[in-house]
Structure 1
Amino acid sequence: MHDLRAIRENPQAFDAALALRGLDPVSSQILDLDERRRAVTTRMQEAQGRRNEASKEIGLAMRNGEVESAEILKAEVAEIKESLPRLEEEERELGTQLDAMLAGLPNIPADGVPEGEDEEANQEVSRWGTPREFAFEANEHADLGPALGMDFETGATMSGARFTFLRGQMARLERAIGQFMLDFQTGERGYTECAPPLLVRDEAVFGTGQLPKFADDLFQTTDGRWLIPTAEVSLTNSVREQILGDLAQPIRLTAHTPCFRSEAGAAGRDTRGYIRQHQFLKVELVCICRPDDWMAEHEHMVESAEAVLQQLGLPYRKMLLCAGDMGATAKKTFDLEVWLPGQGAYREISSISWCGDYQARRMNARYRPEGEKKTAFVHTLNGSGLAVGRTLVAVLENYQQEDGSVTVPDVLRPYMGGLDKLVPAS
């Protein structure tokens, strides 16, 4: 949601910022609705004021025996009472239209975000690690995985496309990856572990920006609840409709949860393998902080995700996304892309975004600065620390051996009961 006052003060800047996302100017439509709504509000307030004033005049006229004047005033009050519901309804309708227009618009890109329409305009910031040189032709995980327990056929037979059934050592490796990430983020990076709901109401997915525009990317239950597309929804909404304290210490939250996405916007992409599933596991990172602390927290969150890749020994690169490739709620986003030797390409494994007060306005989440009476909107950040399934893919491809086995990275072996290798079924 956007600050209406800021749009009133500088509509040209608002339109220019939205143009970076490829949108046409909308400030004139917003301000027209705003003006009409405020005019109706003024008329309503004037009518209410006149009704109260006339009611007093009726009493005075009756006390002075001015019956005819009192009757005229009574007729005026009755007319005002009849008109007020119409004005209230008009104000409500205009407010609904205005809110819907504001709610449907993406966030404003931050200064320094590159211009561009898609991933081609993203900027590489840095790289870590050297891709391994193989003495044999590296396989993609979709070819390597089935002999190790990654059962695509059973998943598809049971649930359809983009579902996978993991067995034995493969299932244990995925669990180990998630547990390692969660222990690392809570033990080393200062995040508090949470076990949030996986089903949420409309207002929760509206608060983090999935509704109304991205409903097709979600799954909904028969009672109207939504399956979370990421724990960002539950974690961020844990402060909705609240006034927090001074927030001298940012609130850092993490959760290891199943996530559910219909992938309506990704039809035809990554249909083979384990990269893009309808159901997947992710360790999510969320931060709630003061506006002045967003930059330090964004850096901390990016470093937290990078550290997991470094601990696993997985080469990656950090990308600054252009305005046209960022998610709708983000003001600034860094993507981490892990090297997949089977594909010979870097692929996204984490997206870490600063959302400013965009989500906070939708959730009405505020804090009270120390020594001040007025409250202010918090800032929110979110990112993957990391996507567990994609990390599993990266481990399989980077640690594969010529005989089809996969070496287990050192940091994961304590979670694997000491198992140091995944071995193909004979």
Structure 2
Amino acid sequence: MLQISYIRDNKDLVIKGLKKRNFKELDLVDRAIALDENRRQTQTQLDNTLSESNRLSKEIGALMKEGKRQEAEAAKAQTADLKEQIKQYTAALDQTVQELNEILYRIPNIPNEIVPEGTSAEDNLNVFQAGEIPQLFEGALPHWELAKKYDIIDFELGVKLTGAGFPVYKGKGAKLQRALITYFLDKNTQAGYQEFQVPHMVNQDSGYGTGQLPDKEGQMYHVQLDNLYLIPTAEVPVTNIFRDVILSESELPICCTGYTPCFRREAGSYGAHVRGLNRLHQFDKVEIVRIEHPSRSYQALDQMVEHVKGIMNELKLPYRILRLCGGDMGFTSALTYDFEVYSTAQEKWLEISSVSNFETFQANRLKLRFRNSEGKTQLAHTLNGSSLALPRVLAGILENYQTPEGIVIPEVLRKYTGFDIID
């Protein structure tokens, strides 16, 4: 979340940034500033009262030694009154801090200055495009028909076992899925990212730490009995490894990668755009996360973008990179680049990765700091990216690599699959 000191000192800049996001609850800024002023006044009153109480306590001891019992008893009575005031000020302070945090949790991050204006995906800026869109043969099929034809993904069986949006991968489809996961992890670890295996459920503190709560609460599967949430991405548990941690400056950057299934309710999603692998409730994804020094975080973001580009180039899939506009950015992000693969059979672009810099927004929630060369602590910057989300990458491979004889496996994956074609 944004630091209240930043909001207080840069109110006009914050308002401008929130307007770029088309954020409607701008009154939250004034409410936060007013609550912070109240908090500071109450804290001053509490500190002064505590100081006076401590002074009187010392004075009582001195008076008793001097035999001034009557004056000491009067001081004790005054101390009792002060203790009641301290209790009231403490309760008022706790209530104000709680109300302030509830408001701060509802204010999104401020977009970087290079984030384009806009209200929806149509306003995103295409900054890069690569790969030749293949000309498919007559009779080419979308991936959900290919999956059925070659019996590699069973969507109906998934409905039987769980429900819509939970596909079952079979035979060569399962092997191709496993090959992609291993390939992505190998590419990430070769680039210096340390691999982690993390839980697939997190507690409430973790959800608040990376910003999924309260913003995305309705989109997360909630195990109410234990108050645990199924993760929407490995970003949540991996980043929370560093919650309440003070790092040394020499430890930065910290680069992590991990594979997990991801669970998203996708409430309200329906229609043709959710067919097949286009939108699922459970899917596999390999994630990269970085903890960075603030002075180097945007250089790190560029490196992450180049890293994902390298993977897409090796897969030889047509793709493009979009710089998201203010109205299409995630709640926690300061700058996001989306990767999209071209679905030749569907004749549309499908998002396969988001690479984002959150600056201090997550770190402030996480209390993730580092000690600089002067010995002072400051908030780190956090970044994450999909490297990569599997369903739409798999859809792109099935559709773009289909031939009349079968689905050719990208060359870079063949050592992982053990076969060259699905026929």
Could you tell me the TM-score, scaled by structure 1's length? 0.95
CA contact (8 A) 2:207 2:236 kept: yes
Aligned to 1:138: 140
| 2:421 paired residue number | 421
Deviation at 1:135, TM superposition (A): 2.9
SS at 2:249 equivalent? coil
Structure 1 residue 269: deviation in Å?
6.8
Aligned match of 2:18: 18
Tell me whether 1:297 sits opposite 2:300 in the alignment: yes
- Taking the aligned partners of 1:245 and 1:251, their CA distance within structure 2 comes to 11
Match of 1:251 in 2: 254
Identity of aligned residues (%): 39
In structure 1, the gaps of 5 or more residues are none
SS at match of 1:45: helix
Task: Describe the superposition over 1:38-97 as per-residue Cα deviations: whole angstroms up to 9, x where unpaired.
Answer: 111111111111112222333344444444433322221111112221211110010011
Q: Distance in 1 between matches of 2:247 and 2:343?
A: 43
Gaps of 5+ in 2: none
CA spacing shift, 1:275–1:54, aligned 2, 3 Å: same
Residue 394 (structure 1) shift: 0.6
Residue 400, structure 1, aligned to residue 405, structure 2: no
1:93 partnered with 2:85: no
Aligned with 1:307 (options 310, 317, 323) = 310
Paired residue total: 419
Q: Which amino acid aligns with 1:406?
A: I
Q: Counterpart in 2 of 1:191?
A: 193
Q: Secondary structure at the match of 2:212?
A: coil
8 A contact 2:234–2:258 mirrored in 1: yes
Task: State the partner residue of 1:121.
Answer: 123
Name the residue aligned to 1:8: 8
Q: Does 1:358 align with 2:361?
A: yes
The answer to whether the 8 A contact 2:63-2:71 is kept is: yes
Matched position secondary structure for 1:346: strand
Of 389-398 and 21-30, more deviation after overlay is shown by 21-30
The one-letter code sitting in structure 2 at the alignment partner of 1:412 is L
Task: In structure 2, give the amino acid aligned to 1:10.
Answer: N
Amino acid at match of 2:341: V
Separation in 1, partners of 2:72, 2:244: 47
> Which residue of the other structure, out of 317, 337, 345, is the alignment partner of 2:340?
337
Give how far 1:268 is off.
4.8
SS in structure 2 at match of 1:256: strand
Give, in angstroms, the shift of residue 27 of structure 1: 2.2
The residue that corresponds to 2:77 in the other structure is 75
SS in 2 for 1:303: helix
Deviation at 1:190, TM superposition (A): 1.8
* TM-score in terms of structure 2 length: 0.95
Where 1:259 maps in the other structure, the secondary structure is strand
Deviates more, 1:322-331 or 1:57-66: 57-66
Aligned equivalents of 1:283 and 1:64: distance in 2?
74
- Check the 8 A contact 1:141/1:397 in 2, yes or no: yes
Aligned match of 2:107? 105
Matching residue's letter, 1:410: E
Amino acid at match of 2:329: M
CA contact (8 A) 1:138 1:341 kept: no
What secondary structure sits across from 1:145 in the alignment?
A: helix
User: Deviation string for 1:104-142 (max 9, x for gaps)?
Assistant: 211110011001111111000111011001231432111
